[in-house]
Chain A
Amino acid sequence: MSIIEKALERLEQSDIRTISESRGPVVAPSTFPREATGEGLIGAAWEAGESLAPTVAAPLRTSQMVALDLKALEKQGYLTPETMHLPRADEYRRIKRPLLLNAFSDAAKKVKNANLVAVTSSVAGEGKSYTSLNLAMSIATELDRTVLLVDTDVFKQSLTKTLKLSEHPGLTDFLRTEGADLADYLLRTNVPNLAFIPAGRLDYQIAELWGSGKMQQFMDELARRYPDRLVIFDTPPVLAHASTLVLTGLVGQVLMVVEAEKTDQHLVTESLRVLGDNVRVGLILNKSNQRESADYGYGYYSQ
């Protein structure tokens, strides 16, 4: 029985007791909130969906709500829902389209975990976290998509640090804690449709952790239970950490960020070789100095 199913069971039990708080005990658990539903309902639905209480007796809990400092992010050059008019936002829209198509089209149903996307790069500093967050922001503005951003770069935790959420327990803690409740680790944000899971405590057996059954289960359920939600994993560089390869093996799509004019060509080809043929990889040329207009009409990512 999966964690979520267990939670469902408990939820049903809890529903009986807290019937006044819960509106739809049957429907709610399997779906993430949609834009169409009212604000008041969302809270209940989130709550219902993620209160994976380990014990029946435990009080019902909702995921914690955090407020991101969007102004500060804007200043650092990140996209926020308020800056979607910038030309830069358009570049992410272009990338977002094939990504969503790969994740949610009919053809994507044949691909395992198509809605799980790992963002990686060959070496450090190419802009993985920047790309992850901007993509997440861009997708969060979609009317009918929700995004879960997961920081799996436990070594640098740059995403967690950028969002100033270092004090929150993260994915490693969830995986290490026996009978942990995901609701305690998932953070809802002031950006609607954007949730975040921090990296968690630094763990040197991270590859083994990613390779654990619990991780496998967690990923499968993320993919299966919430097929309309896109999950973006910010990972360490491919060539720097072997654990990355474990992660890329669990996801349906891999986005590899390549820093223009800096990353060696052979490093990129080496990374692609290391990733192997079984992984669906798309590249993003970051920090380019060339006009995008020169690239119109080139190799659209479509499958």
Chain B
Amino acid sequence: MREQFEQLKMHLWMVLHHRWTALGAVVLVCALGWAGLEAVDDRYQVEAKVYLDTKAALQPLFQGPNGAQTWSPQQSALLIKRTLLTRENIERVINETALKMKVKTPEGLDKMVMSLAERIRVKRLMPAVDEEANSRNDTPADIYSISFESTDRELALNVVKSVLDLFVERFSYLTKTSTKEAAEFLDREIAAYARNLGEAEERLKQFKLDNPGVLLGANGQTYSQRVEALQSELEAAKVSLREAEFRATALRVQIQNMAASRVPVSVGGGVPGQTALDQQIATAESRLSELLLNYTEQHPDVIGLRRQLAEMKEQKAKGLDVPAGGAPVVYAPATDTSGARLLLTEAEARAAAMKEQIALKEKQLLDLKPLAETVPKVEAELARLNRDYEVIKATYAELVHRRETISLSAGAQSAGGDSMFKVIEAPRLPLVPVGPQRELLTTAVFLAALALGTGLGWMRSQSRPTFYTRNQLATISGVPVLGAITMNWSVMEVARRQFGMLIFGMVVLALLAAYVGMLMHNGYDIKPLIKTIVEPFRMIQA
């Protein structure tokens, strides 16, 4: 701590050593800064306030596809400014004001337009402080401020007036006719689209009529789907036909067999020579024919059955046969063949039906074949017609929706009367300048000068560092210091020194006085300050 204090003291002493440099710098900077501040003209600001229903003003112009609001509350001021301050409009402002005198060349005009576009400010004001607004997330109110700053207050007034004129002109135009125009436009569009929609519908209908069954099956199948379906149906019908035919064949054989076996029974003696072997042979033969329906001659069952049959025939030929029922063997109850006959009739009927169906399907397939070329074209045409129709329908719906929105806002307009746009505060000639901040800048210059002077003094002491304390000398040189001898001022020197101090003090006082003077000159009221300083002393006295 002591070390730091010593250091601080030393640095302070170093600066004091160059006090004249420091003071000179301070005086110079103060003089220049304050003179510069004097040279700067006062700036005046003129402001006008208007009420404008943002939504009504902007919605017809900048509406999104779904009728959504596409600008944020913060952007609305910018949008309005852009709409308002077009180049022609700014040129009009220039021509209406004294700025016209300043413009001499086209380049000058360009520059002037650019600078005005920057300097004319359109701002959306925050609502007055109230709880409700705060709770509503601080959405700006529909109040816009138009302001302009200039050293020439007449000019500022005229510029704002001119811009306000533009505002009134522009937005009264917008509020009165733009919705109407938009509505008329939309009406025309809607009518056109309604016509288009009708035509599209008609075209689609006609096309469907022109291309009947060919185009679409009952289930809306396409051509290839239909061909495929027909083919598979044809196949199925063929299979069914074969089934029915085989069934009929089998039934016929059965009926025959039944009839054969019945003869001896029904007659009583039976057919002579009909033995058990004969029966077996008959059964085997019928089985064989059955097998042959499904299998080729090479099938093992077929081969086996044939061999069996051959053996049985051989046995019969050898006379090994035994009469079919030495006693009651063949005496089977008579079998009624009427059921089998009924089945046979059914099978035959089915086969006939299938034949007919096959013929039909084949004819249908034959009919479809020549269309193979034209159908895809027709289908593509249909898809296009459908698409067109859908698009037209969607657009039409959208237009109708917009038209409704506009009707609504127009309704609001007529209901609210002139509340959509209103000049709240007309521009006035300002009496008090808004800038520069003279009091603040005076102090800033003073502080900067102090800092600069101190810095300069310190820098000078650092640029040619010398020794201030014995300790410093010992530390830096690394050589023992025997002692320090204080300056032995002669009377003359002391007098000169004191004189110097006196002058220094006087200059410092003068500087402070100048600072206070400048503050007061720049409108600072010093009385309250003096009062606050003096008051405690009075209290003590009292």
Contacts and interface: CB of A to CB of B under 8 A. Distances in A.
A282 B481 CA distance: 6
A99 B290 CA distance: 150
B474 A294 contact: no
Interface string B472-512: 01101111111111111010000000000000000000000
Nearest to A79: B488
Contact of A290 (B470, B477, B488): B470
Contact of B482 (A95, A127, A269, A272): A95
B487 A288 contact: yes
A88 B465 contact: no
B471 A298 contact: yes
Interface of A: 76-77, 88, 91-92, 94-95, 98-99, 127, 131, 255-256, 258, 260-266, 268-269, 272, 281-292, 294-295, 298-301
A289 B478 CA distance: 21
Given A260-B467, A263-B466, A265-B467, A288 B484 contact: yes
A264 B466 contact: yes
Contact of A295 (B470, B480, B487): B470
A261 to B, nearest CB: 5
20 contacts: A92-B483, A258-B473, A262-B466, A264-B465, A265-B467, A272-B478, A282-B481, A282-B482, A283-B474, A283-B480, A285-B469, A288-B470, A288-B485, A290-B468, A290-B469, A290-B484, A294-B471, A295-B470, A298-B470, A301-B480
B62 interface: no
B176 interface: no
A119 B464 CA distance: 25
A104 B120 CA distance: 91
A131 B17 contact: no
A298 to B, nearest CB: 5
A261 B479 CA distance: 18
Nearest to A285: B484
A76 B490 CA distance: 8
Contact of A283 (B13, B465, B466, B479): B479
Given A260-B487, A284-B485, A300-B480, 15 more contacts: A88-B488, A94-B483, A98-B482, A99-B482, A261-B466, A262-B466, A263-B466, A265-B466, A284-B481, A286-B485, A288-B484, A288-B485, A290-B470, A294-B6, A299-B481
Nearest to A262: B466
A98 B464 CA distance: 31
A91 B468 contact: no
Contacts of A99: 482
A290 B479 CA distance: 20
Contacts of B13: 261, 289-290
A261 B486 contact: no
Q: Which secondary structure dominates chain A's binding surface?
A: mixed
Nearest to A301: B480
A284 B471 CA distance: 11
B468 to A, nearest CB: 6
A299 B470 CA distance: 9
Given A287-B487, A289-B13, A263 B482 contact: no
A91 B465 contact: no
Contacts of B471: 294-295, 298
Given A260-B466, A265-B467, A283 B476 contact: no
B468 A260 contact: yes
A92 B486 contact: no
Contacts of B465: 264-266
Contacts of B486: 88, 91, 287-292
Contacts of B481: 282-285, 298-299, 301
A82 B470 CA distance: 28
Nearest to A288: B484
B17 A261 contact: yes
A282 B479 contact: yes
Nearest to B481: A283
Nearest to A257: B485
Contacts of A258: 467, 473
A265 B480 CA distance: 15
A34 to B, nearest CB: 27
Interface centre among B464, B465, B482, B487 (most CB of A within 10 A): B482
A123 to B, nearest CB: 12
B484 A268 contact: no
A298 B481 CA distance: 9
A99 B478 CA distance: 18
A268 B482 contact: no
Contacts of B480: 282-283, 299-301
A91 B484 contact: yes
A72 to B, nearest CB: 13
Contact of A284 (B17, B466, B482): B482
Contacts of A299: 474, 480-481
Given A269-B476, A283-B474, A301-B480, A91 B17 contact: no
Contacts of B484: 91, 260, 284-286, 288, 290, 292, 295
Contact of B483 (A260, A265, A285, A291): A285
B109 to A, nearest CB: 63
